[in-house]
A and B are shown apart, each in its own frame.
Chain A
Amino acid sequence: MTIGRRLFISSGVFAVAIAVGYWLVAHEITGTFLLGFLAFALSVIAGYMIVAERKADLWGDRGDATMAEAANQVIGTYSIRSPLPFWSALAITSIALGLVISPTLAVLGFLAALGLGAAFIVQSR
């Protein structure tokens, strides 16, 4: 079992334990709901990792692996520079700021975010 799986499973079990424990001790609904929701969310992730985790064969998980063995693996394309993150963040900020000071700004930000999202998809191909 990978460490990632163990981490999420043990966190989920712990959250279930304190949620149940808190309800038994306190009978207080708000705190129990918060802990219960936490337990639910962690259980979903843990469940996903148990059922659907790919059989990852990572060089990093092999203690005796050498650099030479892992050479020439293609791990994806990295864009060293991209203007999209800056403009995307600006568009998202415009939406948030527009909700406070001007609906027009929010609409413009939303349209820009749509365009930038499309650009991200095109650039990723």
Chain B
Amino acid sequence: MSALAESRVSPAARSDLLSWITTTDHKRIGILYLSTSLVYFAVAGALALAIRTQLARPGNTLVTPHTYAQLFTLHGTAMIFLFVAPFALGLANFLIPLQIGAPDMAFPRLNATSYWLFLFGGLVVFSGAATNEGAAAAGWTSYVPLSAIKVSTGLGQDLWIVGVFLVSVATILTAVNFVTTIFIYRAPGMTMWRIPIFTWEMVATSLLIFMAFPSLAADLLLLFVDRRLGGHAFDPAAGGNVVLWQHLFWFFGHPEVYVMILPYFGVISEIVPVFSRKPIFGYTGLVLAAFAIAGLSMGVWAHHMFTTGAVNNPFFSFLSFLIAVPTGVKFFNWIATMWRGSISFETPMLFAIGFLLNFLLGGVTGVMIASPAVDYMAHDSYFVVAHFHYVLGGGSLFAIFAALFFWWPKMFGVKLDETLGKWCFWLLFVGFNVTFLPMHLMGLEGMPRRVFTYPDTGRLAELNAIATFGSYVMLAGVALFVWNVVLSTARGEPVGDDPWGANSLEWATSSPPPEHNFDRIPPIRSERPVYDLRRSGGRAP
């Protein structure tokens, strides 16, 4: 049966608080996900500023070591579990049914339940800060024995465990919804080889979630049993094994990196062709590369464990190097798409180019530390901090801003201000590189990660001061974005259905779309149905 069978005649959309709490509309749930994850981003960003301020000069005593440990634990947890990954889920919630011509998700109530579990899970994680001994302080990786009851005695660690568990359950349920919707609910003519690249990337991401997140849930349950019910899974004195935590955690944790990047590869694949005025180069190659990355990412978890001596380093090193190949394919496809295109530099495209530059550097340093010889030197140093911030901050964060500027008109019917948007981009781009480029050098000078202070040796003081300055430049960029949202919402000039001259199906409906998504769907005869429609002058091609 088809997804597009009939338009639902729905009552006029309500906008009171109760209607948002009870909504099962995928677009509203998407916007709830996006706004909630942005609030978590603001909190995580504030924690990052506190970290950078503490590290602005050697020997600073702004916070205590224990408070510092809580800061970086909550910062990492919020950025990874509550912002970068859930933002992609929110974007996919909003876009997938629109991109494939479906009226909603396959399981709308399950979709809403997932969102609320995500929201409550995040609140449970942060609620640890209100307990006597403070929030969890064992880092976002929560390694045992740091997270064991003998070291982390407070309730904060337990709340972290159950909060992250709730978020992981929500994520798995959402992935089930995505895959079912994409496989079953496509509109007539929307074959799998015509769905937009973003939707393809969400298929790959969902499969990764199926494979990786149960491992995290199992790991968390074991730790909870150890802490609260006297288990010994991670207690070597009773026959347990601390390295088991790392195995189970990274079996989830490395694929999670791709859960946080594949959707944004999809975002870039949607934006680059629109502002290059060309079809995407190598559609099939991009899809196959996404699945190659997803598959290989399941076999590289132990490159986080090279220094434990408990894994076969050459095997994991080899597979880690291999991931560079499909990633390189994607890069070449994006560049080939821009090649000889009629490129225009609107804000989404600027952020997309920023993504390419930053992610490239993050990818190159990733290849470097995939070599055990280099990893032994850089492990647990600021070099690794710089590497993963270039991937997730310079990569995913820039794609997130690209997505916000690109799809804002579709979500709210108004465009964000272009001039402010460009200022926002430059502040974030310069601020980001000023913050994180010096961290490579800090790491090479021997500064370990997660230390609350450092000696005044070498260039560490200057490098840290520069990084802290950069973080405040980034703050200015984010503040400008908030101002842009306020200003653009206040002006509220409608922009029409397709302000960018885009390609995929979501641009065929009104902005914002009606509750039932489409009053009329154009014929789908390629992966660019809206382009086809425009080219035929609005007539069926």
Contact = CB atoms under 8 A, between A and B. Distances in A.
Interface in B485-541: 515, 520-521, 523, 525
A42 B5 contact: no
B211 A26 contact: no
B375 interface: no
Contacts, number: 196
Interface residues of B, number: 79
A27 to B, nearest CB: 8
Contacts of B159: 97, 100
B5 A72 contact: yes
B311 A60 contact: no
Contacts of A81: 19, 22-24
Given A25-B315, A56-B184, A64-B189, A86 B166 contact: no
B6 A86 contact: no
B188 A60 contact: yes
Among B10, B22, B110, B187, residue most surrounded by chain A Cβ atoms (within 10 Å)? B22
Contact of B165 (A18, A56, A83, A96): A96
Contacts of A22: 299, 312, 315
A75 B5 contact: yes
Given A38-B211, A93-B117, A96-B166, A31 B184 contact: no
Given A26-B312, A80-B25, A66 B523 contact: yes
| Interface of A (DSSP majority class) | helix
Contact of B187 (A38, A59, A120): A59
Contact of A72 (B6, B186, B191): B6
A65 B190 CA distance: 9
A57 B203 CA distance: 20
Nearest to A94: B120
Contacts of B248: 34
A114 interface: no
Interface in B209-244: 211, 215, 224, 228, 243-244
B335 interface: no
B27 to A, nearest CB: 11
Given A18-B299, A80-B515, A59 B315 contact: no
A89 interface: yes
B188 to A, nearest CB: 4
B2 interface: yes
Interface in B290-339: 291, 295, 298-299, 301-302, 310-312, 314-315, 319
Interface string A80-98: 1111111011101100110
B116 A90 contact: yes
A28 B312 contact: yes
A84 B107 CA distance: 13
Contact of B124 (A62, A71, A73, A97): A97
B480 interface: no
Interface residues of A, number: 60
B3 interface: yes
Contact of A86 (B21, B187, B243): B21
A14 interface: yes
Of A41, A74, A100, most buried by chain B (CB within 10 Å of CB) is A100
Nearest to B212: A38
A60 B104 contact: no
Given A18-B299, A78-B24, A81-B22, A58 B247 contact: no
A34 B22 CA distance: 40
Contacts of A85: 24, 109-113, 115-116
B166 A92 contact: yes
Find the residue from A59, A80, A83 having the highest chain B CB count within 10 A: A80
A26 B24 contact: no
Residue in A2, A96, A97 whose Cβ sees the most chain B Cβ within 10 Å: A96
A80 B117 CA distance: 19
A12 B115 CA distance: 30
Given A38-B211, A78-B8, A96-B162, A73 B24 contact: no
A67 B187 contact: yes
Nearest to A64: B189
Interface in B191-208: 191-192, 194, 203, 207
Nearest to A65: B188
B270 interface: no
Contact of A26 (B192, B243, B311): B311
Nearest to A60: B186
Interface string B14-43: 000001011111000000000000000000
Interface string B238-267: 000001100110010000000000000000
Nearest to A98: B162
Interface string B85-119: 00000000000000010011000111111011101
Contacts of B525: 63
A72 B5 CA distance: 6
A116 B190 CA distance: 37
Interface in B452-495: none
Contacts of B74: none
B247 A30 contact: yes
Contacts of A57: 1
A79 B109 contact: yes
Q: Which 7 A-B pairs have the closest CB atoms?
A: A60-B186, A89-B116, A26-B312, A85-B112, A59-B2, A73-B5, A65-B188
Interface of A: 2-4, 7, 10-11, 14-15, 18, 21-22, 25-26, 28, 30-31, 34-35, 38, 41-42, 56-67, 69-75, 78-86, 88-90, 92-93, 96-97, 99-101, 120
8 contacts: A18-B298, A22-B315, A59-B4, A60-B187, A80-B515, A82-B24, A85-B109, A99-B224
